[in-house]
Chain A
Amino acid sequence: MAIDSATSLAKLNLIAPVLTASGCAAAGKELDQFFDITKIGGIVTKSIMLEARSGRPTPRMAETPSGMLNSIGLQGPGIDSFIEKDLAWLHERGVTTIVSIAGNNIEEFGRLASKLRDHPAVAAIEINISCPNVANRGLVFACNTESAADVVSVVRRNVSPGMPLLAKLSPDVTDIVEIAQSVKAAGADGVSVINTLLGMVIDQKTLRPVLGGRTGGLSGPAIRPVALRCVFQIHAAMPSFPILGMGGIRNGKDALEFIAAGASAISVGTATFGDPSAPMRIQNELLQDIENHGFESVSDVIGVAHKGDN
């Protein structure tokens, strides 16, 4: 007997618990040649900004033990072109689409949100307040409870009340629970946890940083224990607050750990670079693992790692 694969992130109902991670699936089209992208929980698109943006100079990537650093710098076509081309394609393809947005300032987040308001293709909005690849670290809104809340409130005001909002958090903070509480109070329906950790690699020959942007975001299996801890802490403090968990998930067993820690769904990011069918494969493995454990549905597993804790 197959288990019930459905899950939900607040008001967002999903047919299955595995999504892509922002920036690791573009807008879905390229992955559609490797697996049917309508069969996973959904596609989280690359964070889009108001204007076209070139991103940072190359090299933008360095492989590290069980991980990688990236300093892409939010390259993208800008929201208007995104809506006209990418979102239209996703809509036509019938994909559950979570649009990730990133602004240079609070006002831009508001304008981005209003452009997506009532768009039939948008199932939810992920608010990227945690991109490490910006020149001004002060722009990492997720590092401060007030700025994180300010961004979420402005987005909330600019979309219809029914639009599910996920705030994407940075692990590079002292107390991630405090940030989660502030975005919840500001109107977020859930959190996406975690974005990359800020890191660096030095070139052995030149003894200078490898990346064009000097620092970059660390992702992949190397960050999984940190990500899992963040999910666990937030779920422990706010058990009914939905979490989209991510960070180094490479197979079904990894995904299962996140669901047990309290995630209602998970995103697959860097694993897609090594295996373009990873989201589909991981979803199949996860559902099999859940069944092997004797559970009947995905929702039965959410947060089981907290059993007996008080």
Chain B
Amino acid sequence: MANQVKARLISNKKVGSYHHLIFAGDGIATGVRPGHFAAVAVGDENSPMILRRAFSIHKAAEITSRGSTLELIVAAHGPGTSWLVAQQEGAIIDVVAPLGKPFALPKTPANCLLVAGGYGSAPMVYLAQELIARGCKVDIIFGAGTESKLFDVLEAKRLARYFEITTDDGSVGTEGRVSTAMPAMMAKGETEAIYACGPMPMLQSVADLASKSNIISQCAVEESMACGIGVCMTCVLPVIGDDGITRMVRSCTDGPVFRGDKVRWDEIGTVPADCLGAPKSGGH
């Protein structure tokens, strides 16, 4: 059940390459779990940008001295995100949350490895806290192109049993990709479950490494979205169902979190020939 809230931006702080935004509004934090996302309207009601922008929920709190709050980490990418990070504290912004299916948490305490790339670390500290509260051991790898694109390193370090950073340019941590650091971390931490959020190629390599070790991975994907609430069929990707049949499923309602071994990563951007309802030869 999602809520649509006219929220007040109560804090907007630059953190490295990103902006950390805090919104306050009645019901804005209701029902939020780690892995949920929010869809934010950009511009006023006559804005030429007619679609919402999706962001992972960084944190949510139902009761604070400032009411219910919701926190997002935003990278200025194009016109919509640039507008959003330029908003002043006090601005009223329309937010829909929580959306999507959150990360599934293990029923019994497990050794969990959390892997994030870039702003993919936004939901990870929240997830780590929930896992730790359930008695899980949490190990974390954060990766980014360069140091300024790492987010939440101090918090993650504080919570994690083992923690590692990778950067493409070696500006901090190990030079390379998160997948370079994963095998050693999985051995050391005796990993039983993997959680990942970040760019699609990173998710694919995480899912592959997990599958090779017979470990279940949960990946929060990022597909271009028009509605974010399941009505437009824009955000689909090929996913294998429990019945073994591949369908084009909506990442906004059936995801954004999917089991890594169920997503047909190589075929994203195509309609696999064996997908339910795929064009027969001769075409539609």
Interface residues of chain A, those whose CB is within 8 Å of chain B, are 23-26, 30-31, 33-34, 46, 51-61, 63, 65-68, 70, 72-73, 75-76, 78, 104, 134-136, 212, 220-221, 250-251, 270-277
Asked if B159 is at the interface of the complex by the 8 Å CB criterion, the answer is no
Are A54 and B234 within 8 A (Cβ)? no
Interchain CA distance A60-B235 in the complex, whole Å: 8
Are A274 and B248 within 8 A (Cβ)? no
Interchain CA distance A76-B248 in the complex, whole Å: 10
Asked if B214 is at the interface of the complex by the 8 Å CB criterion, the answer is no
Shortest distance in angstroms between B229's beta carbon and chain A's nearest beta carbon? Answer: 5
Are A104 and B284 within 8 A (Cβ)? yes
Partner of A61, one of B234, B247, B248, B279: B234
Answer whether A63 and B51 are a contact pair too, CB < 8 Å, given A52-B276, A54-B271, A57-B269: yes
Shortest distance in angstroms between B176's beta carbon and chain A's nearest beta carbon? Answer: 26
Interchain CA distance A31-B225 in the complex, whole Å: 16
Partner of A70, one of B228, B232, B268: B232
From B94, which residue of chain A is reached at the shortest CB distance? A275
From A72, which residue of chain B is reached at the shortest CB distance? B233
Are A24 and B270 within 8 A (Cβ)? no
Shortest distance in angstroms between B86's beta carbon and chain A's nearest beta carbon? Answer: 18
Are A56 and B50 within 8 A (Cβ)? no
Shortest distance in angstroms between B265's beta carbon and chain A's nearest beta carbon? Answer: 13
Answer whether A275 and B41 are a contact pair too, CB < 8 Å, given A55-B248, A63-B49, A220-B50: yes
Interchain CA distance A250-B46 in the complex, whole Å: 9
Are A54 and B50 within 8 A (Cβ)? no
Contacts of A52 in B (CB 8 A): 276-277
Answer whether A270 and B50 are a contact pair too, CB < 8 Å, given A51-B277, A58-B223, A72-B233: yes
Are B236 and A55 within 8 A (Cβ)? yes
Contacting A at CB under 8 A, from B210-263, are 223-237, 247-248, 253
Interchain CA distance A23-B232 in the complex, whole Å: 6
Interchain CA distance A30-B236 in the complex, whole Å: 16
Interface residues of chain B, those whose CB is within 8 Å of chain A, are 1-2, 4, 41, 45, 48-52, 94, 96, 223-237, 247-248, 253, 268-271, 275-279, 283-284
Interchain CA distance A270-B234 in the complex, whole Å: 12
Are A68 and B226 within 8 A (Cβ)? yes
Contacts of B226 in A (CB 8 A): 61, 63, 68, 70, 273
A-B CB contact pairs (8 Å), 17 listed? A23-B233, A26-B231, A30-B253, A54-B248, A55-B271, A55-B277, A61-B226, A63-B50, A68-B226, A73-B284, A75-B236, A75-B277, A135-B279, A273-B50, A274-B50, A275-B41, A276-B2
Contacts of B275 in A (CB 8 A): 54
Contacts of B229 in A (CB 8 A): 30-31, 34, 276
Are B278 and A273 within 8 A (Cβ)? no
Are A58 and B269 within 8 A (Cβ)? yes
Are A53 and B284 within 8 A (Cβ)? yes
Are B232 and A72 within 8 A (Cβ)? yes
Contacts of B279 in A (CB 8 A): 54, 135
Are B223 and A135 within 8 A (Cβ)? no
Contacts of A275 in B (CB 8 A): 4, 41, 94
Interchain CA distance A206-B50 in the complex, whole Å: 25
From B1, which residue of chain A is reached at the shortest CB distance? A33
Contacts of A65 in B (CB 8 A): 48
Are A251 and B45 within 8 A (Cβ)? yes
Since A58-B268, A136-B283, A273-B51 are in contact, a sample of 11 more A-B pairs with Cβ atoms closer than 8 Å, ordered by chain A residue number, is A23-B232, A51-B277, A54-B247, A54-B248, A54-B275, A57-B269, A58-B234, A61-B234, A78-B277, A220-B50, A271-B50
Shortest distance in angstroms between A250's beta carbon and chain B's nearest beta carbon? Answer: 8
From A248, which residue of chain B is reached at the shortest CB distance? B50
Partner of B236, one of A58, A67, A68: A58
Interchain CA distance A60-B277 in the complex, whole Å: 17
From B96, which residue of chain A is reached at the shortest CB distance? A276
